[in-house]
Amino acid sequence: MADTVLIVDDSVSMRQMETLILKAGGYQVVEAANGKEGVEKLTEDITVVITDYNMPEMNGIEFIEAVRAGSVNKSVPILIVTTESEAEKKQEGKRAGATGWLTKPFEQDQLLRAIKKVASPSDF
């Protein structure tokens, strides 16, 4: 079975772009419009999560904290995908339990590489 990526982003177009890239890369995709929805849609079948930083309801950091403190697939690799690139924010993400960081805008293969990196790093 193909690996499944959970995309958590409040922007429809962003989710769509990521979905297109990931499907072309051979992934199955589950979408969520904010952190709260992300927590609901996270199952044991999810291989990797990519999440936005700034979102209504529950932002990226709160989402990661919730996943790590929860009981479902709590150690799933999580990649933060955002326009933010400040070191402080990255540190904040790392403290919350993120596995990696990708700064927008990015090229298709950058996203696929970043996902591979957090999902199965020793394959490189």
Partner 1 sequence: MSPSVDPLETFREEVTELLSSLERALMKLEDDPADTGMIDEAFRSMHTIKGSGNMLGLTELGAFTHTVETVFAHVRDGHAAVTPRLIELGLAARDHIESLLATVEPDERLNADGAAIVNELLQEYPLDSGRAGGATVPAAPAATESDAQGETTWRIQLLPASSAFQTGNNPVPLIRELMELGEVLVAGFTDQVPPVEELDPELCMLSWDILLTTDAGENAVRDVFIFVDDDWDIRIAAIDESSLDAADLDYKRLGEILVERGDITADDLANAVNTRSYIGDTLVQQGFVSPERVEAALKEQDLVRKRRESRQSLETSNTIKVRTEKLDTLVNLVGEFVSEHATLQRLATQAGDPEILSTAERLEGLIRDTRDLAMQLHMVPVEVLFSGYRRLVRDLAKELGKDVKLVLEGVDTELDKNIVERLKDPLLHIIRNSLDHGLETPEERTAAGKHPQGTLIMKAYYSGAHVAMRISDDGRGINTDAVREKAIDRGLISEDAQLGEQELNELIFAPGFSTAKKTTSVSGRGVGMDVVRQNIENLGGSIRIESERGQGSSMHLRIPLTLAIVEGLLVEVADQAYMATMSSVVECVELDDSNRRGDQKLMQYRGKLVPFIDLREYFLGITENREMTGGRRQILMVHSEDRMIGLVVDNIRDTFQSVVKTLGKMYEGVEGVSGAVVLGDGRLALMLDIDRLSRLAAHTA
The reply to whether 12 sits near partner 1 by the rule CB under 8 A is yes
Measured from the CB atom, is 26 or 105 closer to partner 1? 105
Q: Select the residue interacting with partner 1 from 49, 67, 100, 115 (CB under 8 A).
A: 100
Q: Select the residue interacting with partner 1 from 64, 67, 84, 115 (CB under 8 A).
A: 84
Residues 6 or more apart in contact with residue 37 via CB below 8 angstroms: 8, 57
The reply to whether 36 sits near partner 1 by the rule CB under 8 A is no
Structure tokens at 94: 């790392």
Rg of the chain in Å (alpha carbons): 13
Interacting stretch for partner 1, rule CB under 8 A, among 35-43, 66-74, 88-96? 88-96
Measured from the CB atom, is 17 or 29 closer to partner 1? 17
Binding mask 39-78 for partner 1 (x = CB under 8 A): -------------x-xxx----------------------
Q: Which residues contact partner 1 (rule: CB under 8 A)? A: 10-14, 16-17, 20, 52, 54-56, 82-87, 90-91, 94, 98-101, 103-106, 113, 117, 120-122, 124
